[in-house]
Structure formats: structure tokens, C-alpha cells
Amino acid sequence: MRRDVDWSTLRRSALAVAVVVGVAATLYVAGDAFAADAAHGDGHGGLGLTPEKLKDLGWRAMNFAALVIILVKFLKKPIVDGLRGRRQSIREEFDDLESQRSSAEGEYQQYASRLSGLDDELKKMVETAIAQGELEKERIITEANEAAEQIKRQAEMAVANAVAEAKVNLKLEVAEQASAMAEEIIKKNLQPEDQSALVEGYLAKVGGAA
């Protein structure tokens, strides 16, 4: 923080400047007086510094010093107010910049945290997707195995049914062919008297049963 203006030191400095300027003005006027005296001297070797000239120099020096003091006195408040206002403005600008810097740092930390959380979230999403993919693969493999087993069982049952049906058909066909062959043989080898004997025997059985 800047230190306040030391006006006592400023006044002393102004007075010192006034004295120096007054002395310089006195020497300047004195030099002019010496030059004029040397050019227009009366030959007596006098300096030509009359009391009126010395009084005039003194008044001029006092007037200059008074002017400096008046300027310092009346310009003190505007200068102080201006310096204070400028210092307040600089402080406000500095506070605003500090606030902006803090806000920017906070936003940066927030974005960095979001990016870090986003990386973690993406990692979790990838891990979840991989786990779900593994589960889906296992489910598909299990369903495929079950479907294959079911198809196998159905094929085995179809084959067994086909074999059983073929056996039945074969037996029926063999029985029919055997019956036809037996009938053919009987027809060829059976004599009329044999037919009469068979009829009588059949009638006897029927009558006995009755």
C-alpha cells in the first residue's frame, strides 16, 4: 500500500526551491546591475546597488516565495483528492483483477475436475460395456447350445419314430406277403376232398361249441 503524501516535507521543499529561485533571481538581477554599472559607471568603482534595487529584489523574492506557498496551500486538497482517487481507482482495478483471477482459477479447477470426472465416467462406461458384452456373449453361447441340444433331441426322436414306423410297416408288409404266399400255396396244394374235410371239421367245431 502506498504511503500518504508528507505535506510538511513538501512545504519545506517548496520553500527551499523558493529560496533558491529567489537567490538565483537576486544574483541574476545583481549581475545585470553590475553589468549596467560597468557600462554606465561614473568612474568611482561603485557597484550601483541602490537601496531601492535591493528592496525591489527582496520584494520579488518574497512574492515568489509567497506564490509558491499559496500554490502549495490551495493545490494541496485537489492534489490529495486526485491522488487518493487515483489510488482508490488503482486499488479497485487491482481488486477487480484479483477477483477475475480468482474466478478464472475457480473455473479452471472446475473444468479440470469435470474433465477428470469425465475420464472416470468414460472408463466406467467402457468397463460396463465390456461386462455387458461378456454377459451377452455368454447368453448367446448358452442359448445356441440349448438350441443345438434341442435340435439334436428332436432329430433323434424323429429318427427313432421313423425307424419304429418302418419296422411296423415292414412287419405288416411281411405278414401280408406271408399270408398271400400261404394262401397261394394252400390253393395250389389243397384237393377237393381236403376242402370237404376242412368244411366238415369246421362245422363240427362250430356245432360242438354251440
Gap between the Cα atoms of 67 and 64, Å rounded: 5
pLDDT tops 50 at residue 165? yes
Q: Does residue 3 sit in helix, strand or coil?
A: coil
pLDDT at 151: 92
Query: Would you place residue 2 in the very low, low, confident or very high pLDDT band (cuts 50, 70, 90)?
Result: very low
**Mean pLDDT score of the chain:** 75
Q: Which has the higher per-residue pLDDT, 117 or 63?
A: 63
Residue 195: partners with Cβ closer than 8 Å, 6 or more residues away: none
Query: Would you place residue 3 in the very low, low, confident or very high pLDDT band (cuts 50, 70, 90)?
Result: very low
Q: What is the pLDDT of residues 103-139, one digit of tens each?
A: 888 888 887 777 777 777 888 888 899 999 899 999 9
Gap between the Cα atoms of 23 and 145, Å rounded: 119
What does the pLDDT average to over 163-174? 88
First to last CA, the chain: 147
What does the pLDDT average to over 22-51? 55
Gap between the Cα atoms of 1 and 4, Å rounded: 9
Q: Mind giving me the DSSP string for 56-67?
A: HHHHHHHHHHHH
Q: What percent of the chain shows pLDDT beyond 90?
A: 7
- Give the closest residue to 27 by CA, choosing from 66, 69, 61: 61
Gap between the Cα atoms of 49 and 47, Å rounded: 6
Least confident of 4-8, 58-62, 117-121: 4-8
- Give the closest residue to 33 by CA, choosing from 13, 52, 5: 52
Gap between the Cα atoms of 153 and 147, Å rounded: 10
CB atoms within 10 A of CB 22: 19
Grid cell of 128 as nine digits: 460396463
Q: What is the pLDDT of residues 74-93, one digit of tens each?
A: 777 777 777 788 888 888 88
What does the pLDDT average to over 54-70? 79
Q: Which has the higher per-residue pLDDT, 193 or 36?
A: 193
What does the pLDDT average to over 11-38? 57
Q: Which has the higher per-residue pLDDT, 102 or 82?
A: 102
Grid cell of 144 as nine digits: 445356441
